Structure 1
Amino acid sequence: MRSARVSMSVLAAGVLVLTGCSGEPEPDAPPAATPSATHSAAEEKPAPTDEPEDAPTSAPAGERFPQCEPAEGKTVTMLEDEVIAAQVIPEVVVEAFEFGGETVPAQVIEAVTIPERVIDRGCIVEYDAPGGCLGAVEISGAFIPGYSLPARVLPEVTLPDGTVLEEIVVDGVARPDVVVEGASAEEVCQSEEGEGTYVSAVYRPAIYRAAGYQDVSYQSVAYRSVQYLDDGHVPGASIPGVSVPGASVTGESVPGASLQGYLLEGTDDVEVTDEDESVSYSSEGDVLFGNNEDEIRPEAEAALEAVVADIEQRGVPAAVVVEGHTDDVGTEEHNLDLSERRAEAVATWLVDHGGLDAGLVTTAGYGFAHPRADNTTDEGRAQNRRVVITIKFD
């Protein structure tokens, strides 16, 4: 049977979840051997990343918000950057003038440029998840670069008679970087709670990233009035005021999502979950495997047969991915290996007894990377020990 690491973004139709037995070795059992060959266990999705507090203005987006870098196991939607064009404050020339029969030379206040700034709006990340789960989602932070406008000076003037007209200084303006904090929601998986024909729903809440603002800036006018003296007059001079527009980042949101469940008709313990174009089937209890084993129990075949029958009613699948999961008892290496062997066992049954095309079936082992319940309780660990079959239809 072929093994593959599978991205949920390419799976569109059905999902089967069947709970097996413990991934924990019995107290008197010998320690599980560490597999010597590399198996097809899929890596755990990366945890959402916190934005840096001091993101430098010159940092590329991938360095500022690393989660926005494309990678296996997630879908990244970049939010369009906004460019604030460079703003040039032109030079000011104070013209030469005659005073007391002599020429007072011109003065030049140099131009100032506020460089182009790029508002980084970040990205939305949807992390892949196994069947029966809603993947984690994240909205990265956003970044508005800061800038500074230096102080501008109307220089002093020394007149031929020795009179000094003092310089006039307009204070500079500085706007710091604005960093907007991101938002995230963790992966959630369908649990096996509820009684009768009702299976508890699972809900991933909506997330919202707030808007961010950078205020407008204004540098005031510098003005020296006309001076009337004994030897003549000094013309007035001024530096115009400067206004720098404000900037903003709009808020972003990702809506909530949910999975609803019910019991498969004609069975006592097979749960069905519908989500858009996907369907999941799950079975409670120690149905599939004995403790620390990968051989399917004969009594588990009735549940598998019921699921195969339901899949056949929905149409012929175009691809089948079988995923194995365990609880967190024991080493990571052992659980990864056990989850892959169990996925292989179910995949083999689907081909040999369920009539599925072997060329359509791949497997992946996740170990305890994607729990759907609390691993600190016996009930939670039992739910986490499962095999998931994902069906894709054309």
Structure 2
Amino acid sequence: MPTATPSTVPTPTATPSADPECVPAAGRTVRELPDVAVPEVVVAPVVDGDQKTLVEGFTIPAQTIDAGCVVQYDAPGGCLGAIRITAAAIPDVTIPESRLDGSDKVYAAVTVPGVDAPAVTSPQICQAETNGVLPTVTRKGVVRRGVARNGAARPGSSEQGVKVETVKVAPVRLPDVDVDPARLESRKLPGQDKVDVFTGEGKVSYVAPGDVLFDTDQAVIRPDAAKALHAIALKIKAASPNARIRVEGHTDDRGDATYGLRLSERRAQAVASWLIRTEGFKAALITTKGFGETAPAVPNTSAANRQKNRRVVLTVATR
């Protein structure tokens, strides 16, 4: 008889569906984690001296383990963005059943269950003045602990002069994934005790209270706000004159949310226009974004907190 060729046994080979957060998009930075490749296991058939197949061969297909990704979400100036390490999974693997031709001998299937590594997150954290003090804040580090799928063996035997080898699958491990803690340090802008300066994660943010820059419900810069804006502009120019600047507008939770969003957008645009017109910054290097009430620095639980949330933030990358 002709020599039998190995047959492919269906075993789970599909990796977990990619987390949609791993798709690069506006508002987040994604670092893909390297996949883990598990090679196929090829088991040859057992034949006798006449080339008769006594035990069918088979292949345990290769697997590619999707390790997921690390996502860092953009955050308003004066905040450290949230971090997420997505979930990952090592699927089951099965050594299939085999039978010895001409006998009742059965080599039972062996299945090794899969294991999951759940997602872990560290939330966004923002800095806010408390009792006149701007404490340094820290976003805790994040660790997704490694997980492993055990190895296994399907024992062989020697029957009626026929030797059937033990079939083994090796253990598989997804290693630990960790993101270091981050610090957000703060100080007052020299000569401008109402302007806060936050430094951390490769950027510097200058936070000016909305009440300093604008009259209530207005998006026209007050004449007496020029001093604060000029002081910020001087600092930016001295450190990195060609840096890209993001100007953000924020409001509190009072009133209509859509109105607040549009007001925050107009205020951000007003500050950007002032920087271009008065301080000579290049328009191509400035972007604006209005957050409305969606990104408060502190909970909107008091008049004092709402005042802190009405703000304009100018952020410059330092790396």
CA contact (8 A) 1:191 1:202 kept: no
Larger Rg: 1
Q: Specify every segment of 5 or more residues in structure 1 that has no aligned partner in the other structure, as ranges.
A: 1-55, 97-104, 158-166, 225-234
Please say if residues 374 and 380 of structure 1, whose CA atoms lie closer than 8 Å, have aligned partners that are also in contact. Answer: yes
Indicate the residue corresponding to 1:130 in structure 2. 76
Work out which structure has the larger RCO, using CA pairs closer than 8 Å and 6 or more positions apart in sequence: 1
What residue identity is the alignment partner of 2:219? Answer: D
Task: Pick from 20, 30, 41 the counterpart of residue 87 of structure 1.
Answer: 41
Structure 2 residue 85 is the aligned partner of structure 1 residue 150: no
Structure 1 residue 64 displacement after superposition: 3.2
Q: Aligned-pair distance for 1:293?
A: 2.1
* Residues 335-370 of structure 1: per-residue CA shift (max 9 Å, x gap): 221111111122222233334344543322122232
SS in 1 for 2:275: helix
* 1:214-248, Cα deviation, whole Å (9 max, x unpaired): 00111112343xxxxxxxxxx43342211111110
Alpha-carbon separation, structure 1, partners of 2:208 and 2:151: 60
Of 165, 180, 188, which residue of structure 2 is paired with 1:255? 180
Specify the SS of the correspondent of 1:200: coil
Q: Which runs of 4+ in 1 moved over 4 A?
A: none
Q: 1:90 to 1:107 in 2, by over 3 A?
A: closer
Task: Give CA deviations for 1:114-148 in whole Å, capped at 9, x if unaligned.
Answer: 00111211111122223222111111122222211
TM-score, normalised via structure 1 length: 0.71
Q: CA 1:272–1:107 in structure 2 vs 1: closer, same or farther (change >3 Å)?
A: closer
Describe how 1:120-269 pairs up with structure 2 within 5 A.
120-157=66-103, 167-195=104-132, 198-224=133-159, 235-269=160-194
Letter in 2 for 1:64: A
The alpha carbon displacement at 1:255 in A equals: 0.3
Please tell me whether the aligned partners of residues 324 and 386 of structure 1 are also in contact (alpha carbons under 8 angstroms).
yes
Structure 2 counterpart of 1:375:
300
8 Å CA contact 2:77, 2:206 repeated in 1: no
Deviations, residues 264-318 of structure 1 (Å, cap 9, x unaligned): 2223322222236532222457222233222223333332233233334335234
Change in CA separation of 1:141 and 1:83 when aligned onto 2, cut-off 3 Å: same
One of 273, 278, 282 as aligned partner of 2:198: 273
Give the distance between the partners of 1:359 and 1:85, measured in 2 at CA: 51
CA–CA separation in structure 2 for the residues paired with 1:107 and 1:351: 83
- Identify the residue that residue 7 of structure 2 maps to in structure 1: none
Secondary structure of the 1:143 match is strand
Question: What's 2:5 paired with?
Answer: none
Write out per-residue CA displacement over residues 66-111 of structure 1, whole angstroms, 9 at most, x where no aligned residue: 2111222222111111211110111112457xxxxxxxx9552110
User: 2-side partners of 1:344 and 1:106: how far apart?
Assistant: 82
Cα deviation for residue 388 of structure 1 reads 1.2
List runs of 5+ in structure 2 lacking aligned partners. Answer: 1-11
Aligned length: 308
Q: Which amino acid aligns with 2:72?
A: E
Whole-Å Cα distance in 2 between the matches of residues 240 and 301 of structure 1?
A: 84
Counterparts of 1:359 and 1:95, CA distance in 2 = 80
* Residue 128 to residue 316, structure 1, CA distance change in 2 (3 Å): same
Match of 1:354 among 263, 276, 279: 279
Q: How does 1:93-132 map to 2 (within 5 A)?
A: 93-94=47-48, 108-132=54-78
Alpha-carbon distance between aligned partners in 2 of 1:239 and 1:393, rounded to the nearest angstrom = 65
2:288 is aligned with 1:363 = yes
Identical-residue share of aligned pairs (%) = 37
Residue 168 (structure 1) shift? 1.6
Of 58, 62, 65 in structure 1, the residue corresponding to residue 14 of structure 2 is 58
User: Does the CA contact (< 8 Å) of 1:134 and 1:189 recur in 2?
Assistant: yes
Q: What is the identity, as a one-letter code, of the residue corresponding to 2:41?
A: Q
> Partners of 2:240 and 2:18 in 1: how far apart?
46
CA contact (8 A) 1:373 1:384 kept: yes
Measure the CA separation in 1 of the matches of 2:275 and 2:177: 43
1:72 and 1:351 map into 2 onto residues whose CA distance is 25
Structure 2 distance, partners of 1:184, 1:393, is 25
Deviation digits for residues 146-200 of structure 1, max 9, x if unmatched? 211122222444xxxxxxxxx12222101223221121112222212253xx522
Report the equivalent of 1:337. 262
